[in-house]
Structure 1
Amino acid sequence: MLDWLTTSLTFLLALGSGLIAGVFFAFSSFVMGALGRLPAAQGIAAMQSINVVVINPIFLGVFMGTALLALLVAGYALSHLSMPGMGYVALGSVLYVIGSFAVTVFGNVPLNEALVPLQPDSADAALFWPRYLKDWVMWNHVRTVASLAASGAFIWAMRTL
């Protein structure tokens, strides 16, 4: 029974981290580039809207649900490292929790919060926007790679579970 549960949870982690990697990849590969090509006021207004709309049960359920499940499964995996595949489960969990969730909380969210009070057509906003784009995209690249690597680790673990 425990083998079935471990495999099922690892499969869910692979799906969740892979799905989130895809979301982050879209932002890194074209969404932020498109926003950066707009006049600053339009790009800022669009990003402010995205930051409101992203707070929804579907995205947060997958993003935070995967983080919570990774934390729970990491504890089991770390205490059973001698079992086949558990090292990869632990690795995937750490990659997702630190590289995706923690980077979001400590990297991207503070940038998003700094964007909230700005009037898109103000001089302050226009000065902030290029730095915001550069820093936000840099942290997003980290989240993309970490989430994709986590998904790969979970998939690799399933070969031996």
Structure 2
Amino acid sequence: MTFPITNIALVMAALGSGLLAGVYFAFSTFIMQAFARLPVDQGIAAMQSINTTIVRSPFIVLFLLTAALSVFIAVMAIVYWRGSISVLMLTGAALYLVASFLSTMVFNVPLNDALDKLDGRSVESAQVWSTYLADWTRWNHVRTAASLLGACAFVRALF
């Protein structure tokens, strides 16, 4: 059993992680593949547009809120240690914070920043785009799995 505020945080973090896993899953399974089928300049332009739009969308609120909730949950797990429940809480928080949030900041965002500086009509754009698609999608798979597993750990901690 955990405190009511912790239970609310667990529910919200589970929903946030689950929603983010769905977004990442869509990118991993069909969006990036669809962009790869476009002419290079169009694929790059589409991803550049997403990169600009996403930071001004509700996605970023959910992304940051879930991180904050994960920190809160981790602190509560440590301060009010409850054995296996705390382990599940820490597992969910670590999965989201390290494998989803941190990997985004360390890998996906720098790839996006580099892509944003690229002119899709330049000679080197085809090679950069090909590498970007592979690297970005690989790290997106990590975010997908981590967010989903984090959501599962948060839900399991509730029961």
Q: TM-score range by the shorter chain?
A: over 0.9
How many residues align structurally? 158
Residue 140 of structure 2 is matched in structure 1 by 140
**Which amino acid in structure 2 is aligned with residue 37 of structure 1?**
R
| Offset, 1:82 | 2.7
Identity of aligned residues (%): 44
Distance 2:124 2:68 in 1: 37
Q: Alpha carbon RMSD of aligned pairs, Å?
A: 1.2
Residue 76 of structure 1 is matched in structure 2 by 76
Normalised to the residue count of structure 1, the TM-score between the two structures is: 0.94
Residue 89 of structure 2 is matched in structure 1 by 89
Q: Which moved more, 1:18-27 or 1:2-11?
A: 2-11
1:10-29 equivalences in 2 (<5 Å): 10-29=10-29
Deviations 1:107-144 (A, max 9, x none): 10010011011111111211200000000000000000
For structure 2, the residue ranges without an aligned partner over 5 or more in a row are none
Following superposition, which runs of at least 4 residues in structure 1 exceed 2 angstroms of deviation?
78-84
Is contact 1:78-1:87 (8 Å) kept?
no
Residue 157 of structure 2 is matched in structure 1 by 157
Judging changes above 3 Å, is the alpha-carbon distance between structure 1 residues 83 and 4 closer, same or farther for their aligned structure 2 residues?
farther
Deviations 1:16-43 (A, max 9, x none): 1001101100000100000011111110
SS in 1 for 2:3: helix
Normalised to the residue count of structure 2, the TM-score between the two structures is: 0.95
Residue 120 of structure 2 is matched in structure 1 by 120
Residue 110 of structure 2 is matched in structure 1 by 110
SS in 1 for 2:114: helix
